[in-house]
Amino acid sequence: MKSRSLCTIALLLWVLSAAALGWLFVKGRTAPSTDGRMHVLLAPAERDQILGEMRLLLKAVHGVVTGLSGPEQQEGLKQAEQAARAAGMGMAADVDPALMIKLPLPFKQMGMSVHRDFDGLADAIAQGAPPAQIMNRLSSITSRCTTCHDLYRLSANK
């Protein structure tokens, strides 16, 4: 009887832990902000890491636009493809799980979709997609960037 009670308690604790982790995975560490956005509460180094990644994404956008607008079309397309590929899923491969759990699910979903779509953009450039199609894909990517910036604010808690 005693071992049955211990098994029941262990199972209950496991279920409660799994539920708590699941809730944290969806909600992240957030708090309302005075400007209507959601604060994502991070350690200073975590905030710096995400902001650094955002700067790399912006540099990739710049690389694609610069490549498409250059006078040497073949060289420009190669530059645009490399810039897009640099912002793809390879960029997101080594994210710390402890950081990922702090991010709300929609933030993670938007971020991963941006990386996937940069890979798709690089593939489209490599396959010779017309510039208008490339710009439409890039516009779709940057619309998620602006949406994310409209919804979230990264806050470093000490």
Classify residue 12: in a domain, yes or no: no
Summarize pLDDT for 16-29 with one digit per residue, the tens.
665 555 555 556 78
Classify residue 8: in a domain, yes or no: no
Please name which of 60, 80, 82 lies closest in space to residue 133, comparing C-alpha atoms: 80
Question: What pLDDT score was predicted for residue 157?
Answer: 80
How many structural domains compose the chain?
1
In this prediction, residues 38-47 reach a mean pLDDT of: 94
In this prediction, residues 28-37 reach a mean pLDDT of: 89
Classify residue 11: in a domain, yes or no: no
Q: CA 156: distance to chain centroid? A: 18
Classify residue 146: in a domain, yes or no: yes
pTM higher than the cut 0.95: no
Is residue 94 predicted with pLDDT exceeding 60? yes
Is residue 128 predicted with pLDDT exceeding 80? yes
Of residues 48 and 158, more confidently modeled:
48
Classify residue 111: in a domain, yes or no: yes
Of residues 24 and 151, more confidently modeled:
151
Is residue 42 predicted with pLDDT exceeding 80? yes
Classify residue 116: in a domain, yes or no: yes
Classify residue 75: in a domain, yes or no: yes
Least confident window among 16-20, 43-47, 59-63: 16-20
Classify residue 24: in a domain, yes or no: no
Domain range for 143 is: 29-156
List 153's β-bridge partners, or say none.
39
Q: What CATH number has the domain bearing residue 72?
A: 1.20.120.10
Give the tokens for residue 45: 């180094």
